[in-house]
Homo-oligomer: A and B are copies of this chain.
């Protein structure tokens, strides 16, 4: 069945072309301001054609959403070689913040855009779950070394993630204007270091 095979490859190729165009415009103009017509005309096809390859705009969004997580997880995986769990935890934060700075638009897609509430419970968000589990595991390791004693694992992990996300969210939505003296980058960097020094006493 060499033809069917090639057919499938062509189909995947087309999907890739659409995603490439979508990524380019999504990450430039944001989710809301990117139209299906924009994406279609980027690859010189008619708007309707996209609907043959993707269910709707939100399916394209979810594809890029997953892409973002894969990118972030790849960055975090590098830290596996850091032996001490607490050192690794601190580095995770730094990498997370760096990721948000370097990939503002992916970050928006991953954590800020109101997702069209689909497949979130079924199969689609496995990769986000995976990231959380990674964090839970890390906290557990720290606790095994006598850190964060008496803290509930899940609440503590949620708090960690929240603090990181808060820093990145304010950055991504430019809500840092009220701290006029400091640059965005410094606020994130040294703001996080403040948090770290709290962690060190816990």
A residues within 8 Å of B by Cβ? 30, 32, 111-112, 114-115, 117, 120-121, 125, 128-129, 131-132, 151-152, 154-159, 161-167, 169-170, 173-179, 181-182, 186-187, 190-195, 197-199, 201-202
Chain B: minimal CB distance from A55 (Å)? 20
Residues of B within 8 A of A117 (CB): 174
Q: How many copies does the complex hold?
A: 2
A187 to B158, Cβ gap below 8 A?
yes
Chain B: minimal CB distance from A143 (Å)? 13
Chain B: minimal CB distance from A120 (Å)? 6
Chain B: minimal CB distance from A102 (Å)? 19
Give me 19 A-to-B residue pairs in the complex whose CB atoms sit less than 8 angstroms apart, sorted by A's number: A30-B114, A32-B32, A112-B112, A120-B177, A128-B178, A154-B181, A155-B182, A155-B191, A156-B191, A158-B167, A158-B170, A158-B179, A158-B187, A159-B167, A161-B166, A162-B191, A164-B166, A197-B202, A201-B201
